[in-house]
Each structure stands twice: as C-alpha cells, then as structure tokens.
Structure 1
C-alpha cells in the first residue's frame, strides 16, 4: 500500500532550554513544507493536504501545523506518513503519535534536542576527529571581560539559533560587543 504523506510545519515556539529561546521562523517552515508537498505530488506521491485543491501560491494549503489538532486533522484525512518539516524537541506533540501504525520522515525529537546546541555538537564532532572550525563559547557573564583566542574577522552565532538567523561576520571589537549584547538580550 502506498503511503499518504502529510507535511508538518512549526506552529508554536519550542520550549525554552537552559534560559535560551530558539527563535521561530515566520510561517514556521510552511513555505519549505509547501515546496516539499508540491514536489512530492508532482512526482506522483499521494500527499494529504488540509484542503482538497491546494493553491500553489498559498503555503498553508499544503501543510499541517505540528500541534495535536493539526496531526489529528491530517490523520482524519488519511495521512499515514508524516514529514517532520518542523523544529523538534523532547516531548514534541509528534511523540504522542509514535507507535500508532504511522510512519515518520525526520529526526527523533529526543535526539534533536540534544544536538541542537551548536557548541555541544562541535565538541562531539571534534572528539571524534571530525574537523570543525575553531570555536569558543562566550557566556553572558563574559560580556565585560571576554578573552578570545581569535583574530578578526570572525563569525558569531547564537548557541541555539535557527538556521543562519543571528549568524554574523564581525570585523572588530565594537561589532563583536554589539553582536554579543544583542544575542544575550534576546536570550539566543
């Protein structure tokens, strides 16, 4: 039996972890989810959508929110496979649907939560002899007296950022100070 695929998008902010809020992309990846659904349908994959005849120009016609209600709506429309085009974390709503004769395309929420911390992930890669750029973790307590073992220019990124959001090239101390203040004021 062929799968009936529903694409999920992020409907709400993920929980705060260690005082840091991962920012949400406007639309919660509904744009890329719509692209995925459209391409699957174009390639003869049975795609389940919220409305019968989705408009190619309306992202939300193609995707379901990653809420309990959104997932149940997709199931009621026949979905048996979920493409997890969303931000996952431990205790995400999708976990309530594991073991219910459904298929999932994506990462395990409990694993995503662990490796979402860029500094932690870089350390794991480094310990396993996988080359990663030199990095240094700067905490809010270091703001007034951060001692870096780097030369400018450098790239600054929030520890739990979304994609490239908040990633900035800095070329001098003033730019670094301004970026760090912005990151810590946003709790990124």
Structure 2
C-alpha cells in the first residue's frame, strides 16, 4: 500500500463481547441497520490530513436512519431507545471501535458506513469485529482502497497512465519549493488549486494570477495538505453517480445514473451544499437532454470505467466539466468522490434537503427511500471488504 496511515491506538474489546450478537446475526433473516458517523479524526497519510467534516456526517446519517425506519420499514438500531427526529446524534453510532461494538451488541446486522474510511480504521483492523466479519454487511467501500483513492492526485495520475479517460492537465505541489518552481512556469491562467485530500469544495479556488495562486497554495500547504493545480474547465459542470453491481438494482455490472447538472457557481466553483442547498444549483437532466447530446453518454461510460477500475463496492460520484462553454465541447473528469453525500428529505424540517445522488435517482423514478433500499441491497460482507485486493496494475 502506498504510504502508511498514522493513527491513535484503539481500545481493545474482547471478541466474546460480540459472541451473542454473532449468533443472532447468523440466523437473522431481515437487516437490522446501524448508521455510522465520522467520530474519528482523519489520520495523517503521507504527511497529508483530510479535513474532518463538522458534525461528522451525522446530519445525513440521521436522514438515512430516519427514512429507513419510518418510510422503508427497516429495523434501524439507534444509540437511544426513542430517537428524536430533530437530534442527529440520536440516530448514528460513532465509527470508533467502541461505537461499532455498541451497535453490534444492540443487534445490528448491517453497518451503513456514512463516514471516511482508511486502512487503519477499526472497521478494517479491529479484532473484535473478526468473529462477525462474514455475517456483518456494510454499505461502503473497502477501507484500504478508500485511503489510496482519497488521494486525488494518485487517482488522476492512475487514470492518465491507464488511458482512455479525459482529464485536465495538472501539476502536483507537495511543498513551497515545488510551488516556487511551478510559479516560474508559464501557466495558462485561470487555474484551479485544490487540496489533494479535499472534502467537497473546501480549499478549492480558481486563481487568475501567479500572485493569487501563490497566496492560496501557501495557505493550503500550511494546513497539512499537498495541492493539485489543474487547468480551469470553463464549460458546463455536471456530476455522475456510478452504482456497483447488485441484484437489487437489476444490474450485474457497474452502471451510471442520469447526469446531474450543476449551475450558479460562486467564483467559478460549485459551493458546498451546507452553504447553498443542492436543489438551488443542481438538476437532473431529462432523458431527451441525454439523448440530444452524445457527450453525456460518453462521459457516463468513462465514469463507469473508473468505478470498475477502482473496484468500488458502493455508489461513488465523479464531477465532470466541459473544457469550453459550448455544447460541442467534451467533458473532462476532475474529481472522483469515493463517498458521495447522502442527505435527503424525510425528517421533520428537512423537507428541502437533497443530495446529488438523490437528484440523479429522480431521473430513474426513484424517491429517496427507494434509493436507500437499493443501496442497502448492495451491501457487502465485512470479510470481503477487509480482504479486497488492490487491482493488479497498482503496485504497493
């Protein structure tokens, strides 16, 4: 594996504590779902730390748990016996070893990993989970692969080497000396500078001069992150969600959901959905729009191939944008997201909530509960996620 994860020691919990839960899991016929949120601080990986989301995705985790329970008739395990729809913390378990053991002891047979995983995450390493690893199912990606693929520079360079993918030109900047060297190059402005392990639009900026680029990158480099500097794509922005193979969706291979268009950018960048609601700057394209422009199906095929290449086991989302502001311009891939946001409506006061993947689902005639059920149906045994191997073309 490229690089090592630096992490804190986890409390050791005896496997005997989950023995009863293991016996229950082996005979359970219906799922009992526990949603996990990001309790753990993201580790330092190759000198770079991914910023933790404020709240640790508990808001979307509560959306998922509430809708599964009240609109999908799924047995949802919660930290408290009578969860309050307006209290996010009542619906989700922390992704620490203790939090997951608590969920299993309460009877969980499925984990919904609504969190950021990494190679030394307790979901991957905890010996206390080994006794249930073959029966416990997880909605999520293999932790070891997530750590590798959360490095946007690694993924982009991998796709360039493999060929067949359209991407903007880019430069990697690991330190201030590399930045100084790059600033001597005759870059074509504007360019986009962003963290190599970013979250959403955090730290992403369109820079229109060497001075602006230098100031922004120096700020990012001080925050334990490397930087990607890539050509600015000036045309229409969109995003494509790719689903994994699953009998519940009727697909035995990877497949793309309808394209979702992004608009109303702020300074050339789609704003974080915590600031501007997805419904205010995004829409699912109609079937006729897809059919009228072959560039949509072309980029969908590329996104499907990315998911197949990375061996994803859960939905993933890829942001794309045309090179030029013209319908004749092709799309380029510019951001591969291993954990798409899954916010959605259902809880009181959350009626206007949505996510890009939920919007894409509407193009299939799926509402938010249907999407969640389809995702639950694609869950994978923890044993398989732990033992997922790197694709043969990737060398450690």
TM range (shorter): over 0.9
Residue 112 of structure 1 and its aligned partner are, at CA, apart by 0.6
1:131 matched to 2:158? The reply is no
Residue 143 of structure 1 and its aligned partner are, at CA, apart by 2.5
Residue 155 of structure 1 and its aligned partner are, at CA, apart by 1.2
Equivalent residues in 2 for 1:20-39, closer than 5 Å? 20-39=48-67
SS of the aligned residue for 1:33 comes to: helix
Q: Given that residues 13 and 22 in structure 1 are in contact (C-alpha distance below 8 angstroms), is that contact kept between their aligned partners in structure 2?
A: no
Partner of 1:12: 40
Flag the 1:170–1:129 CA change in 2: closer, same or farther, 3 A: same
Q: Given that residues 66 and 86 in structure 1 are in contact (C-alpha distance below 8 angstroms), is that contact kept between their aligned partners in structure 2?
A: yes
SS of the aligned residue for 2:170 comes to: coil
TM-score (norm 1): 0.93
User: In structure 2, how many angstroms separate the alpha carbons of the residues matched to 1:128 and 1:39?
Assistant: 41
Q: What 5-or-longer segments of structure 2 have no aligned partner?
A: 1-28, 226-396
1:89 matched to 2:118? The reply is yes
Equivalent residue in structure 1 for 2:68, among 12, 16, 40: 40
Q: Given that residues 10 and 87 in structure 1 are in contact (C-alpha distance below 8 angstroms), is that contact kept between their aligned partners in structure 2?
A: yes
Q: Given that residues 154 and 171 in structure 1 are in contact (C-alpha distance below 8 angstroms), is that contact kept between their aligned partners in structure 2?
A: yes
The structure whose Rg is larger is: 2
Q: Which gives a bigger RCO, structure 1 or 2 (Cα 8 Å, sep 6+)?
A: 1
User: In structure 2, how many angstroms separate the alpha carbons of the residues matched to 1:150 and 1:107?
Assistant: 37
Residue 12 of structure 1 and its aligned partner are, at CA, apart by 1.9
Which digits, 9 at most, give the CA deviation of each residue in 1:112-168, with x for residues without a partner? 111111011011222231212221112212132324464222211111112221111
Flag the 1:149–1:107 CA change in 2: closer, same or farther, 3 A: farther
Partner of 1:166: 203
User: In structure 2, how many angstroms separate the alpha carbons of the residues matched to 1:69 and 1:131?
Assistant: 43
User: In structure 2, how many angstroms separate the alpha carbons of the residues matched to 1:37 and 1:128?
Assistant: 40
Which has the larger share of strand?
2
User: In structure 2, how many angstroms separate the alpha carbons of the residues matched to 1:148 and 1:59?
Assistant: 48
User: In structure 2, how many angstroms separate the alpha carbons of the residues matched to 1:9 and 1:170?
Assistant: 34
User: In structure 2, how many angstroms separate the alpha carbons of the residues matched to 1:37 and 1:150?
Assistant: 47
SS of the aligned residue for 1:137 comes to: strand
Q: Given that residues 65 and 71 in structure 1 are in contact (C-alpha distance below 8 angstroms), is that contact kept between their aligned partners in structure 2?
A: yes
Partner of 2:253: none
Equivalent residue in structure 1 for 2:181, among 141, 145, 148: 145
Which digits, 9 at most, give the CA deviation of each residue in 1:90-121, with x for residues without a partner? 02111222525211110000111111110110
1:50 matched to 2:85? The reply is no
Partner of 1:111: 145
SS of the aligned residue for 2:155 comes to: helix
Q: Matched residue pairs, number?
A: 188
User: In structure 2, how many angstroms separate the alpha carbons of the residues matched to 1:66 and 1:182?
Assistant: 30
User: In structure 2, how many angstroms separate the alpha carbons of the residues matched to 1:65 and 1:13?
Assistant: 11
Pairwise CA RMSD: 1.5
